[in-house]
Amino acid sequence: MLENADAVAQFAADFFVQQVNRKPNAVLGLATGSTPLGTYRKLIEAYQAGRVSFKSVTTFNLDEYFGLEPTHEQSYRRFMRESLFEHIDVDPKKTHVPLGSVQDVESETAAYEAAIEAAGGIDVQLLGIGTDGHIAFNEPGSSFASRTRLKTLTRRTRKDNARFFGSIDLVPKMALTMGIGTILEAKQLLLLACGEGKADAIARSVEGPVSAICPGSALQLHPRAIVVLDKGAAKGLAQLEYYADCEANLNEVAKV
């Protein structure tokens, strides 16, 4: 648990910088929405300061709204370009976002899976979490074995995202998304959450039963999943004191 959202963003950015400096051709899984914006701003700052280069990096985004052209003001391709890609030295040809305007969904999703495999798999996958526990656009009830596919969005998700569109009626009803099975194949997972509005979803994901009704609980099955929270998002955790002790002990071990 960290003090605030800025500290969460700094931790995540430092984590990615260390990964890329250790492996310049790293394959990074990226996310959209309000949560990772702070991380992207700090990655831009790190690049501008000469602390990291992304010129050999390959990226894969989690999802895209179905039916939106890449140039649409609310498309995730445009979000990533404006929030990160055009501000760093990443090769645009190595940045991948599902094509929401595609006609042949099965071919697009199969090609996306094949591209991830051809790149050697994702080294670090960045994740946010919805208030209902969804990760990417894997809504409650999603199979833990699911792959990249077309998924219907719940009304709750569409309501949560209506602030970006101005009205729930303008929010697409479906999206192309990596499946939970795809996400769990990443070598490392880094989930970020900030604010009390995410506290219930985090508590159910971290301490609740592993269940399809809370897709975030799938992270309990991953051997290298890191959950980075501010105080608000951590508020619902029953064993918060124990987690703090674990973190302190790991830091002490690292100094030896």
Active site residue 222: no
pLDDT score recorded for residue 31: 98
Per-residue pLDDT of 43-74, as tens digits, reads: 999 999 999 999 999 999 999 999 999 999 99
Which of 96, 134, 160, 230 is the catalytic position? 134
Which of 255, 191, 198 lies closest to 228 in space, CA to CA?
191
222 burial type by CB count under 10 A (0-12 exposed, 13-18 middle, 19+ buried): middle
Q: Which of 64, 139, 160, 230 is catalytic?
A: 139
Residue 14 is among the residues annotated as catalytic for this protein:
no
Concerning whether 139 is annotated as a catalytic residue, the answer is: yes
Catalytic residue among 63, 108, 123, 230: 63
pLDDT digits (tens, 9 = 90+) for 201-227: 999 999 999 999 999 999 999 999 999
Amino acid at 79: F
**pLDDT confidence of residue 94:** 98
Q: What is the pTM of this model?
A: 0.95
**Strands (DSSP E) found in the chain:** 27-30, 58-61, 63-65, 95-96, 124-127, 149-152, 174-177, 188-193, 225-229
pLDDT of residue 255: 72
Catalytic residue, from 64, 132, 160, 230: name it. 132
The parts of the chain modelled with pLDDT lower than 70 are: 254, 256
89 is catalytic: no
